Every structure is written in structure tokens, then in C-alpha cells.
Amino acid sequence: SKEEADKLTVLVMADDKSGSIFAHPSPDKAIINGEYSEYMINKVVEDIDSLGYGKITMMTDKEVAMTSLQTKVQRRRHKPVIPQNAPKGDSQSNGLAEKAVRDVEEAVRTMRSCLESDMGAKLPVGHPVISWMVEAAADYINRLRESKPGSTPLEIIRGQHQPRKMADFGECIFYLPPKAIRGGTNKADKMFAQGVWVGSNSRPAEPSLASGT
């Protein structure tokens, strides 16, 4: 229905130590027979491992899909995951996650409005670029918003200052392709290519990359 086409379900996680937020679009909740997809399980495990912790406590409500995801992550992760569940719908018991959801919603609304203004056109929620925008919104929060005086979530996790200047989502940019893609070009040839900025790779062990199209 049109009402459903205007909606996008998003899984949001928040880390209470660093203030980091992770957000992943989940079309149709990415649930098969009441369970999240393998893709979503792997993304959650990657997010947790990127924080660099050993044993963690993973808190969610008692919704069936969420407790199932919690169990799968507990089995998939190589380090201990201690489950802790609040009553379904009890937002006060998991206020950090509730705030993270609001922060992502606000960021996506702002980014969508800015991109629509630049394009001069309406961007439907079902468009694939919205999925990129959701993940980019969480990344912008982690890179640019201070969760502690003088430090962003990403700086807390990495233990060092990180550049806080980034391109706007959807901005046309020049980027330097990896050597494997450029090949053995002549030094007189142009090195940069044109692309559209749709986010960065914020994994601590990997460099940040512009996504070119």
C-alpha cells in the first residue's frame, strides 16, 4: 500500500560508553519467519566488534524478533554477549536506545530535506539512496557530534582526534580510486574521478572511502 511504501524500518543500536550509534535499514524488518536476516546479524556483530570491547551486555526489549536477533548475535560473536531484556514498550528502561532512534530520525529528515532542496525534486522513502542515507546519518553523528566534552564517539573509540570536515550527503566530489582500479596509468593522466558522496567506511581497521558512482 502507499502507506507502507512511505515507511522504512530501521534497526538502531547505541553504545553507552562511547555514545556511538549504528543504524541499518531493514526492508520488511528483514525478518524471515520472525527472525532477522543473516545480513543484519552479521552487520550487528561487525558493529559491536568495531567498538573494540571484549565482553558486552546487549540490551533490548522482549519483542520476538529482537530477542531472536540477540540470541543469534550471542552465538555468532566470538566474545561473550550477556543478554538483558526490558519489558516490550518500556522506553524508560532503554532510554539510550530510544534517544538514538530519535537522533537518527532527525538526522535523516534533515539530510533528506537538504538533498531534495539541492535536487529540486521529491525523494521517495522507498528509493535505494534512503538506505545509504540511514547508515550515513549514524556515521555523521559518530564523527561530528560530541558525546563527551571535546570528543566525538569515533574519537573516543579510536583514542585520537579525527577530521571533522565531511562532504554533504549526495554532494558531487572528486575522489582518488585505489591503485588496483586506476591501474598503471601514465603520470600525466588524471588521477581523480567524479563521484557522489553517500557515506564513509568508519571501521577502525580500515580507511574511510568515498563511494563513487
Q: Who wins on pLDDT, 78 or 31?
A: 78
Identity of the amino acid at 187: K
Query: Cα–Cα distance between 63 and 61 in angstroms, integer?
Result: 6
β-strand 35-36 against 56-61: which pairing, if any? unpaired
Find all residues with CB under 8 Å of 102, minimum gap 6, and list them.
none
Helix 128-144, helix 95-119: angle, nearest 10: 120
Residue 205's pLDDT is what? 43
- Among candidate residues 49, 109, 111, the one with its CA nearest the CA of residue 80: 49
In the block, cell 526490558 appears at: 86
Q: What is the pLDDT of residues 38-63, one digit of tens each?
A: 888 899 999 999 999 999 999 988 88
Q: Who wins on pLDDT, 19 or 164?
A: 19
- Among candidate residues 31, 16, 25, the one with its CA nearest the CA of residue 68: 31
- The pTM is what? 0.81
